[in-house]
Amino acid sequence: MSQETMSQETEPNITTASQNKGFALKLLDDLDAPSSARIELVEKPLPTLKKGQVLIKMLAAPVNPSDLVYLLGKYGLPPQQDAYVGFEGCGVVVEANAGLYGKYLVGKRVAVSAQPGIDGVWANYAVTKANFCLPLRNDIPDEQAATIIVNPCTSVCLVERAKQLGAKAVVINAAASQVGKGVIRYAQMEGIKTIATVRSQSNVKVLEDLGADKVLLTESENFSAELKAACKSFKAKVLLDAVASEDTPRVLRVMPNHSTAIVYGRLTETHDPLGGLFSVADVIFRDIRIEGFWLATFIGKATPWQVYRLSQKVQKLFAQGVFQTDIYKTVDFEDFYQVLDHYAANKSDGKVILKLG
C-alpha cells in the first residue's frame, strides 16, 4: 500500500469555497432511463451549518446498490429533486457546529454517512450530523475508507444477528456482492458456515476461494434440491436476503422449519412498488419468519459506544485485510456517468469510486 493512496490527518483550510458542486437527483417518469440520466452535475451555495452538523471536504464516495434504488425513487427515503445524491464516502472535516465532538473532528479524516433529508455526498463538500462521522485510521486508503460504513458494517451486523438467532450456518443470496463477500469472511471468523447462491458461474470459484462452504448456481436445474440438501447438512436456518421478490419464498421453501429471512436489500430488477413476496403457508404452518435490516435504523438506535465499537471492529478488519472492497474503477466528475451505468449492469465487477477533492 503506497503512501500516496493514503490520507493523513491534516490541518484543514478553514476558508472553504462558497459554492458546492456535485451530482443532483433528476427525477424522471421514464422507468427505463439509465442511472446516468437520473443525475445532473450542478453547482449551488454551501448551506449554513445547523447545530450538530459538520462540513466535510469530500475525498471519495462509492456507488452502492442503495444509491441506484434511490435514483429510481424507490428507496426507503423520499427522493428529493435537485438534492445531491450519495449515501456514504470519506473526507476531512473542515468546519463544525457540534460542540466538543465537532471541535474534535475538525482536521480529521472521517468516514461519512449522509444525513437523511438533505444533500448527499456525491459532491465536493458534504454537510451531515457530527455523529454520522467516524474518525479513520491512517492505514486505510481513501478508496477503501469511503466504503467502510454501508457494506462492511452491514456484513458484521447481519452475522451478529444470525448469531443471536442461534445460527450454525446461513444462506446468502447475491453472495458475490460486497456485503455477501464480507459476510463470508466474517462468518468464517465467527465459526458460522456459509451457503452462497449466485447467478454467474464465474463467481463460483471466487467465493469458494474466499471461504464459502458451499456455492450454488441459482440457474441450475437442481438448485432447489441442492440447496435443501446443503441446508440440512449445515443446519442452516437463517437466510440473508439481498434480492427479495420471488427469491425469498423460493429459498425459504427448502429451508428447515423455524427458519428466518433477514431482508436487507432489493436487488431484483423490478418496478413493483412492493418488491417482496412470501408464502403465507410457510409463515403459518412452518413458523417461517421474515424480518428486515437497515443500517441507518441500527445506528439510529445504537448508543455512541456501540457505534464506536462497530467502527473500530470494521476498520481493524480492513487494516488486517479481512475486509477489502473490490473496486472496478476510480473516476472524476467527467467520467462518472459512463461508469455509473456499467456498475448498474455489472455490480459484481466491483465498486465505482467518485474521486473528489
Structure confidence by residue, pLDDT tens digits, 294-325: 998 888 788 878 888 999 999 999 988 889 99
pLDDT for 189: 95
Q: How confident is the model at residue 180 (pLDDT cuts 50, 70, 90)?
A: very high
Q: Is the Cβ–Cβ distance between 329 and 28 less than 8 Å?
A: no
Q: Is the Cβ–Cβ distance between 47 and 127 less than 8 Å?
A: yes
The percentage of the chain sitting over the pLDDT mark of 70, rounded to a whole number, equals 94
Distance CA 319, CA 304 (A): 22
Residue 9 has pLDDT above 50, yes or no: no
Structure confidence by residue, pLDDT tens digits, 13-47: 444 678 999 999 999 988 889 999 999 999 999 99
Q: How confident is the model at residue 274 (pLDDT cuts 50, 70, 90)?
A: confident
Cα dist from 100 to 128, 174, 250, whole Å: 16, 42, 51
pLDDT for 193: 98
Q: Is the Cβ–Cβ distance between 142 and 59 less than 8 Å?
A: yes
Q: Is the Cβ–Cβ distance between 67 and 87 less than 8 Å?
A: yes
Distance CA 169, CA 237 (A): 7
User: Per-domain residue ranges for the chain?
Assistant: 3-147+325-355, 153-295
pLDDT for 16: 65
Q: What is the mean pLDDT of residues 207-229?
A: 97
Distance CA 212, CA 154 (A): 18
Q: Is the Cβ–Cβ distance between 357 and 58 less than 8 Å?
A: yes
Pairing of strands 238-241, 214-217: unpaired
Q: Is the Cβ–Cβ distance between 242 and 264 less than 8 Å?
A: yes
Reduce the DSSP state of residue 310 to 3 states and report it: helix
pLDDT for 242: 94
Residue 93 has pLDDT above 90, yes or no: yes
Structure confidence by residue, pLDDT tens digits, 118-159: 999 999 999 999 989 999 999 999 999 999 999 999 999 999
pLDDT for 10: 45
pLDDT for 334: 95
Residue 330 has pLDDT above 70, yes or no: yes
* Phi, psi (deg, nearest 5) at residue 205: -65, -35
Q: What long-range pairs does 308-317 form, CB within 8 A, spacing at least 24? A: 308/134, 310/153, 310/156, 310/157, 311/111, 311/134, 311/148, 311/153, 313/156, 314/148, 314/152, 314/153, 314/156, 315/136, 315/137, 315/140, 315/148, 317/152, 317/156, 317/185, 317/186
Q: Which of 97, 102, 165, 116 is nearest to 294 (CA)?
A: 116
pLDDT for 304: 76
DSSP label at 49? P
Residue 6 has pLDDT above 70, yes or no: no
Q: Is 183 or 276 the better-scoring residue by pLDDT?
A: 183
The catalytic residues are 75
pTM of the model: 0.84
pLDDT for 272: 64
Q: Where does residue 10 rank: exposed (0-12), middle (13-18), buried (19+ CB within 10 A)?
A: exposed
Reduce the DSSP state of residue 79 to 3 states and report it: coil
Residue 92 has pLDDT above 90, yes or no: yes
Residue 104 has pLDDT above 90, yes or no: yes
For 173-249, strand residue ranges (E) read: 193-198, 214-217, 238-241
Distance CA 194, CA 219 (A): 19
pLDDT for 77: 81
Q: What is the mean pLDDT of residues 193-214?
A: 96
pLDDT for 270: 55
Q: Is 59 or 77 the better-scoring residue by pLDDT?
A: 59
Query: What do you get for the CA distance between the two ends of the chain, in Å?
Result: 21
Q: What is the mean pLDDT of residues 170-189?
A: 96
Q: What is the mean pLDDT of residues 41-55?
A: 96
Q: What is the mean pLDDT of residues 174-185?
A: 95
Residue 318, sorted as left (phi over 0), alpha (psi -120 to 50) or beta, turns out to be: alpha
pLDDT for 269: 58
CATH architecture type of domain 3-147+325-355: Alpha-Beta Complex (3.90)
Residue 4 has pLDDT above 60, yes or no: no
CATH topology of domain 153-295: Rossmann fold (3.40.50)
Q: What is the mean pLDDT of residues 58-87?
A: 92
Q: Which of 228, 227, 173 is nearest to 196 (CA)?
A: 173
